[in-house]
Amino acid sequence: MATAEPTPAAPRRAWVEQVMGMPVSIHLRGPRAGSGEAARRVAQVYRELASVDMVFSTYRPRSPVSLVAAGELALADAGAGVQEVAALCELARERTDGAFDAWLPGADPQQRRFDPSGLVKGWAVERAAARLDELDGVDHYLNAGGDIALAADLAAARPPWRIGIEDPRDPANLVSVLELAAGGVATSGTAHRGGHVLDPATGRPPESLRSVTVTGPSLMWADVYATAALVRGEAALDWLEKLEGYAGLLVSSEGVQATTGWAGEVPPH
């Protein structure tokens, strides 16, 4: 009866490290998942994320981004990476009609502080994961605190990755399951740490939605859109519906809603 296995599963390997203040898992799958080259690439990915953290951490008082936020360093002097991210933050603010804003209100309403954390994570993870694209015969996913960049080679007869979407009302359960072979999945929520997403208009956490998951070709944009949708609240469904190439799933205390492009099953409640 052990012969019932349809196809032999491809070899898998996983790594977990704490980087950028969160657990980051990398999973490889395929005939060369256990190769030395694969392990070297994975080490590069972690090194790259750690170096991004040195520059962008708002928890390190002397990081370039902290210095910019404190007004001690001009954006123009903060380095190419910071400027690139600042420009993307501006684009994100435009694309979300201000629902995503890296310039948050501070204690003094006249002064806004620069905090690009909401975009940096997706930006860094998507960029770092691209290093794994170059590995032949290896599928990958990188899960950074619940936000996932992934790739699977369907042409090599390997299945897509199956991604479970956690139920923020009961993290032991899933609200939906997606099968994806490329792109990213990002979930923003108020479930665990309380308000780590702030409404730029009020400086307070949004309340009506428990979590928003967005999937699409870019993890960074999926993450930005998920954050913006969480800020928008229930009205976000219509807004997400209009985003080309992206689909969303909204979980509130009352139930679960998805855009028409959502590829996974959604429970009736």
Partner 1 sequence: MRRIVVAVVSTVSGLIMLFAYHTSTMGPGGSTTALGGTSGGLTDPTTSTPDPTPTATAGHRPRHTPSTTASPAGASGTFTGDVANTQWGPVQVQLTVVSGKITKSEAVQYPQGTFRDEQINSYALPILSQEVVDRQSGNIDAISGATITSEGYYQSLQSALDRANL
Contact indicator for 65, 56 with CB cutoff of 8 Å: yes
DSSP string of 158-183? PPPEEEEEEETTEEEEEEEEEEESEE
Q: How far is the CB of 98 from partner 1 (least distance, A)?
A: 22
User: Between residues 86 and 259, which has the closer beta carbon with respect to partner 1?
Assistant: 259
Q: List the beta bridge partners of residue 247.
A: 215
User: Between residues 79 and 205, which has the closer beta carbon with respect to partner 1?
Assistant: 205
User: Between residues 96 and 190, which has the closer beta carbon with respect to partner 1?
Assistant: 190
| Distance, CA of 239 to CA of 87 (rounded, Å) | 23
Q: How far is the CB of 79 from partner 1 (least distance, A)?
A: 27
User: Between residues 68 and 180, which has the closer beta carbon with respect to partner 1?
Assistant: 180
User: Between residues 34 and 245, which has the closer beta carbon with respect to partner 1?
Assistant: 34
Q: Residues 80, 57, 126, 162: what is their CA dihedral angle, to the nearest 10 degrees?
A: 180
**How many C-beta neighbours within 10 Å does residue 22 have?**
14
Which of helix, strand or coil describes residue 54?
helix
List of residues contacting partner 1 (CB under 8 A): 1-2, 4-6, 8-18, 21-23, 25, 27, 33-34, 42-43, 46, 141, 143, 145-148, 150, 161-166, 168, 171-174, 177, 185-193, 211, 213
Q: How far is the CB of 110 from partner 1 (least distance, A)?
A: 32
Tokens of 138: 């290896």
Tokens of 126: 């998507």
Q: How far is the CB of 159 from partner 1 (least distance, A)?
A: 9
| Distance, CA of 74 to CA of 88 (rounded, Å) | 17
Tokens of 59: 């928890």
Q: How far is the CB of 188 from partner 1 (least distance, A)?
A: 6
Q: How far is the CB of 196 from partner 1 (least distance, A)?
A: 8
User: Between residues 245 and 267, which has the closer beta carbon with respect to partner 1?
Assistant: 267
**Angle, in degrees to the nearest 10, between helices 36-56 and 80-95:** 80
